Structure 1
Amino acid sequence: MSTEEMRNAEGVAYREVTDSKGRVYRIGETDRDILGHNRKIMVYLPWIAMMAISVSEYAFGSAEDTLSKAHGWTQSNTFWILSVWVFFQAGIAFPAGWLREKGYLPARSQMFTGAGLCLVSFIAISHLDNVWLAIIGFGVVGGLGSGLVYATCINMVGKWFPERRGAKTGFVNGGFAYGALPFIFVFNYLVDTSNLKGVLDLIGVYVLIVVAVCAWFFKDPPKNWWPADVDPLKPATKSAKSLAKNPPAVKQYTPMEAIKTGRLPLMWLAVVMTGGVSIFGISFQVAFAKDIGFGPLVAASSMGIMSVINGVGRAVIGWLSDIWGRKLSLVFVIVVLGLAQFGIIWAGNIRNEILFLFFAFLSGFGGGAFYPMFAALTPDYFGENYNATNYGLVYSGKLISGLFGGGLGAMVIDAWGYNGAYTLAGGISMVAALIALTLTQPGRPPKGESPAPDPRPVSSEAV
């Protein structure tokens, strides 16, 4: 390994150090050297952009009745539109990551592209009565646009905060849920068939402007970059506590290497299952509340609570994961998600509005908090350099979950009723929790076992 001092394009000195397992860290450049300002902006800008695109998913259920009346669609039509949106929103993550890491479509370009596609999607669902055109316009085009923004934002914060990614990733991820809160109440109380088109057009313009402005400042750090004030080999204080619970990946795994470890396929399967349960709740909670006789305030409030807690829970569990450890936090939120499904059935059967709102609270927490855990766990296990593609593979599990959470969820409700559907959702969550329990970091021995001796000599720059 070369130990000489190098300089980047701006003339700033840096060096690369290697630990005993061969993991390389690029140190010496501060965030201000690269960005011209503090890296915290790479938390706040992705957070704002995530709040802007959240209306596409989390407010859709509240707009469903009005959309159906305005365009003459059935309930099944609108749920399949959302399912297609989820499919493409998740499906673009891997190719977007590959294009970004190859330099073909940088982060800023992905954000600009996503912003434009989101505008087109809202215009489409506003003005197109044909359900197939709406599926293409909102489901396909809008899903791709939102997916580009989502994947870019999540990977951006992970790259800039490799030593404390749990709290930062959770905070940014949370914006994707509670950012929709104002629109949930707008669609429930202020929008009808007479003003729907104008409102949707304005929302499209709003998303375009917010995301494009944020995109202007996006920039990735160099590969292997590590904060200059944090020694990756001897971290101190807050960083040390987080890294002790969530040690850095032992190497930079390519996507194929990550798949071969067996951990990435397990994470993908867990995303399929938990994502399906989460999307099921988003799609049907308002409809279930209305079906059992709760008024529009309770129905809207239940989704509003789910949206807020879904987002806040992502930030809270991200922070806790830096203390508890990522795996324990992941198992915890998946179990909470499962228990909440059984609680919603119980509260609905006894017609108790307070309990219904309480379990909507728990469902919102569990149904969102697992996303930042997977987003942080992926670079913890496989490194940062290929995180855009590796997390794209993990997140692509939402491709499948979008289908059975939305469209197939509607079919299960038709066949088994809400009780049967919610019972199935709770059971799926518990199986996912068992899968999460099996996850271990590749290349590190289980606790209690000693690592194999490293035969390589350790240089003055390696520890």
Structure 2
Amino acid sequence: MTADPIAARSASADPGAPNRSYREVTDSRGRVYRVGETDRDILGHSRKFMVYLPWTAMMAISVFEYAYGSAEDTLSHAHGWTQSNTFWILSVWVFFQAGIAFPAGWLREKGILTARKAMYLGAGMCLAGFLALSHLSDVLLAILGFGVVGGIGSGLVYATCINMVGKWFPERRGARTGFVNGGFAYGSLPFIFIFNYAFDTANYHRVLDLIGCYVMIVVLSSAFFFKDPPKNWWPADIDPLTFSGTGKSAASLAKNPPAVKQYTPKEAIRTGVLPLMWITLVMTAGVSIFGISFQVDFAKEVGFGPLVAASSMGIMAVINGIGRAVVGLVFVIVVLGLAQFGVIWAGEVKSEWLFLFFAFLSGFGGGAFYPMFAALTPDYFGENYNATNYGLVYSGKLISGLFGGGLGSMVVAAWGYNGAYALAGGISMVAAAIALLLKQPGRSTDMSLTPDPQPTG
């Protein structure tokens, strides 16, 4: 691979960095890399903080999704809601949490909404969501407060955190994206046990209000230090043309090179790969959300005690988070599907240990695919439009929320838990088959450094 002439730029070309110089390197496909500046030049400290801070914020907002199912019984009794009411509230939350990703990404890339402002706004809306869940007994108002406002707020935090990691680690996104995304699951663990053992109609106002304040404070504290790197930024210690340099990153890049160009959202859609990713995420996330929503209730239905019910959800949340750093998209989707059939078996034979084991597998499968999609999106389409491209892929979750939560409750009512879990397992297997069709646009399947010819049209 050869380079076009290198353009060296001084501080005057970069008003935001008066004491730094950089150069832009263009590869044979026209992709531009901005090199010469270290993370410490830009931030004043290591870019590792741009992993730990988003991870902390993701830990805080995880209580919205992963602990909600454990609070469902108390919420129903406190507000006079049916089970269907409570899970439609969760479905609306999922819809807006996922749906805000694309418009938020577009606003960020247009410079209208900075990462820090997105986090500040999200923090306030997260607090409002929990206050609504605590004090509004009218189902429609609760849907508006927790589902819409809380969903948008947590979605702003989620999308900003995921994209922050991808921008600061363009050469090694996978493990770091998985680590940050994992916080969105296992951060809920203490709240799962709080909702199962220390949450009742006598104290639900106080508990929910305090959780809302906790989420807001953690997100605000993390957001204060958020800062995006310059566009096209690339680590100074790795040659973007040959991927030679120091450390393991260069060797990894040689085997798994970055996107051949910076795809705009329209270009990404036209490759056909992004729509396939969207469909796969819709199906897989629907199965995952179904498990999150109904695992505790199913455990109680088959006669398992409250400790097993709470522990199964806790195991699912922890392994869901840990599993987010594991590689192998098709594998984890298959595991997720098999786990649904395993849950049926465990319930049939009344085995608590089997139930916990398949909760483990379901958490692993249901957690690993999210960061894989988050890492695949910039790997396939580049970093410059990642906020909108990943927003498009992640928007599939808004459809999944309807299937996994609200419609899932209807299937349970009509077919029972066994029928619903069997359907979920079948959907996951179809998603695994679709995932086999995914490949990096514009590059040979052997993943060599030489790209395929540029497609026309």
TM-score (norm 2): 0.95
Partner residue of 1:131 out of 131, 139, 161: 139
Deviation at 1:13, TM superposition (A): 1.0
Q: Equivalents in 1 of 2:172, 2:189: separation in Å?
A: 28
Query: Shift of residue 240 of structure 1?
Result: 2.9
Q: Please state how far the C-alpha of 1:268 moved relative to its aligned partner.
A: 0.3
Alignment correspondent of 1:404:
403
Give the AA of the match of 1:381.
Y
- Matched position secondary structure for 1:5: strand
Range with bigger deviation, 9-18 or 384-393? 9-18
Match of 1:192 among 186, 200, 205: 200
In the other structure, the counterpart of 1:413 is 412
Give the length in aligned residue pairs. 443
Partner of 1:59: 67
Counterpart CA distance in 1 for 2:379 and 2:447 is 20
8 Å CA contact 2:337–2:425 kept in 1: the answer is: yes
Which residue of the partner structure matches residue 347 of structure 2? 348
Q: Secondary structure at the match of 2:7?
A: coil
The equivalent position to 1:105 in structure 2, one of 90, 100, 113, is: 113
What do the CA deviations read for 1:303-332 (whole angstroms, capped 9, x no partner)?
Answer: 0000000001113x1xxx3xxxxxxx1111
Written as runs of structure 1 = structure 2, the 5 A alignment for 1:141-156 is 141-156=149-164
Specify the SS of the correspondent of 1:15: strand
SS of the aligned residue for 2:113 comes to: coil
Aligned-residue RMSD, C-alpha:
1.3
- Aligned twin of 2:6: 3
Residue identity in the other structure for 1:425: A
Sort the Cα spacing of 1:239 and 1:448 in 2 relative to 1 into closer, same or farther, 3 A.
closer
Aligned residue number for residue 84 of structure 1: 92
Q: Deviations over 1:40-91 (max 9, x none)?
A: 0000000000000000111100000000010000000000000000000000
Name the counterpart of 2:58: 50
1:288 aligns with 2:301: no
Provide the C-alpha distance between the structure 2 equivalents of 1:255 and 1:451, rounded to a whole number of angstroms. Answer: 20
8 Å contact from structure 2 (residues 280, 435) kept in 1: yes
> Residues 452 and 349 of structure 1: is their aligned pair in 2 closer, same or farther, counting only changes over 3 Å?
closer
* 1:270 is the counterpart of 2:280: yes
Name the CA distance, whole Å, in 2 between partners of 1:87 and 1:13: 44
1:10 CA displacement: 2.2
Number of the residue aligned with 2:182:
174
Deviates more, 1:116-125 or 1:8-17: 8-17
1:162 paired to 2:170? yes
CA distance in structure 1 between the partners assigned to 2:446 and 2:145 by the alignment:
50
Show the counterpart of 2:269: 259
Relative distance call for 1:199 and 1:446 in structure 2 (3 A) is same
Letter in 2 for 1:375: A
Q: Give, in angstroms, the shift of residue 234 of structure 1.
A: 2.7
| Distance across 1 between alignment mates of 2:18 and 2:48 | 21
Matched residue SS, 1:26: strand
Q: What is the percent sequence identity of the aligned residues? A: 79
Q: Equivalent residue for 1:212?
A: 220
For 1:5, give the aligned amino acid.
A
Q: What do the CA deviations read for 1:223-255 (whole angstroms, capped 9, x no partner)?
A: 110011122223344113422342100000000
Partner of residue 254, structure 2: 244
CA positional deviation for 1:4: 3.3
Q: Report how far residue 448 of structure 1 moved.
A: 9.4
Kindly state the Cα deviation for residue 130 of structure 1 after the two structures are TM-superposed: 0.4
Q: Report the Cα distance in structure 2 between the residues aligned to 1:241 and 1:282, rounded to whole angstroms.
A: 38
- The code of the aligned residue for 2:8 comes to E
Q: From the superposition, tell whether residues 448 and 161 of structure 1 become closer, same or farther in structure 2 (CA, over 3 Å).
A: closer
Determine the C-alpha separation between the residues in 1 that align with 2:41 and 2:127.
35
Q: CA deviation at 1:199?
A: 0.6
1:400-422 C-alpha deviation (Å, 9 max, x unpaired): 00000000101111111111111
Instruction: Point out where structure 1 has 5 or more consecutive residues left out of the alignment.
Output: 322-328, 455-463
Taking a change above 3 Å as real, the CA distance of residues 336 and 452 of structure 1, as seen in their structure-2 partners, is closer
One-letter amino acid of the counterpart of residue 7, structure 2? E
Between the aligned partners of 1:17 and 1:215, the Cα distance in structure 2 is 32
Q: Distance in 2 between matches of 1:139 and 1:171?
A: 26
SS of the equivalent of 1:232 reads coil
The more displaced of 94-103 and 236-245 is 236-245
1:228 aligned residue: 236
Q: Equivalents in 2 of 1:205, 1:240: separation in Å?
A: 43
* Residue 302 of structure 1 pairs with residue 312 of structure 2: yes
Q: What residue is the counterpart of 2:22 in the other structure?
A: 14
Q: Per the alignment, do residues 3 and 353 of structure 1 end up closer, same or farther by CA in structure 2, a change over 3 Å counting?
A: same
Using the alignment, how far apart are the partners of 1:410 and 1:377 within structure 2? 32
CA distance in 2, matches of 1:4, 1:420: 62
Amino acid at match of 1:99: L
Give the match's secondary structure for 1:301: helix
Cα displacement string for residues 91-111 of structure 1 (whole angstroms, at most 9, x for unaligned residues): 000000000000001100000
**Partner SS for 1:389:** helix
